[in-house]
Structure 1
């Protein structure tokens, strides 16, 4: 880090600045438009700063992915709980798809196993925490125990529930609703008017 950078940033400030800069780039240009050089320029630091502090692109994007998963966790945890398993599962799935629609670039990032380190302990824990409410809703609906972070067991019902929401999320961010709806904002119209019926057909009361 150069002298001016040391004066400008203290302790974790530089890392935070680089993560925030990376988030801005991906929101604007998607993961395809991200480079370490762009992140450094946006943060106002030297081109070598990202590699020095995050050991390269993978490290920086993993740190950003952790932030995104925390954002997802906050949104899903804020959704109402009815105590009715089917309704709660539909609510969680709707929230998951809505999050993807509002944050398409960041959502794509957390799905890219080639760009982030899915073996990073912090990422593992944060990604698990992000989907805890969803997992509990799915487990209650199917009559199974909720997943345990420390017991990596394949659960077909959870895979099915996750695949459903995940597939719908990708369908929305890839623009598929435009094939069904002739509205100014097909994605929002789909989420508001059609998705609840799709989820009800998938997980009826």
Structure 2
């Protein structure tokens, strides 16, 4: 399966969930997904932290293709790297839903003939935003395994039509803002 290959390539920075749902032809992942690795340190043979990560990623894949991609980019500048590396792995019906901290407005953008939905989002949890956009509540997910909850969202997103304005990627890159996600931690 494709996600097994990504795991072998060490593209899962943090794993919250990784497994096979009741639909055995699919695999799911939730966590931090590496888009651009950090430098390989020759003295230790280990990598420094990634340069670009799809945070709070929610992925569904079959044997060879990504069927669903959702997550958060801190900057729209990370999207071209994602496209360069993973565009050919997207299934024909995959419409990545990306929550981006520093875009001026939410929009749909077509890149290399493939639609991407970019949502202005600098606060909150991607999973909660996904379930809200699918009109799913806790009752809809009750009793399902973690993997099957992801599949339920994947199936609900098949009907998702955001009705956002269309822009090209260059416009979104040129109009990015300085917004940064508020982080919390030890004081």
TM-score (norm 2): 0.30
Bigger fraction of residues in helix? 1
Higher RCO (C-alpha under 8 Å, 6+ residues apart): 1
Bigger fraction of residues in strand? 2
Structure with max Cα Rg: 1
